[in-house]
Amino acid sequence: MYVDEKIFLRGNLPEGLQHDFDELQEYYDVGDWFMFDTVFEAVEASVKAYYLAGKISKEDLNCIFNKYGIA
């Protein structure tokens, strides 16, 4: 599990995703890997759903996947 701090996501992603990423970052910053992993699974599914619904671009999807190491 990691967050690539060198990759920046666009600031106008859907509000729900921004909230999810903020929550992930909080757990990452304090080293709470259990909660990070728990939330991470839901965020991964959410990111895919936003993409399939056309609310984020393929570029956004790839950037998010690279930032959070989603394969």
Determine contact, residues 36/27, Cβ cutoff 8 Å: yes
pLDDT tens digits for range 22-35? 999 999 999 999 99
Could you give the C-alpha distances from 58 to 39, 47, 63, in angstroms and in order? 22, 11, 9
Question: What pTM does this model have?
Answer: 0.86
**Predicted local confidence at residue 71, as pLDDT:** 67
- 71: its two tokens: 């394969």
What's the rounded mean pLDDT across residues 50-64?
Answer: 96
Determine contact, residues 32/64, Cβ cutoff 8 Å: no
C-alpha–C-alpha distance, residues 49 and 55, integer Å: 9
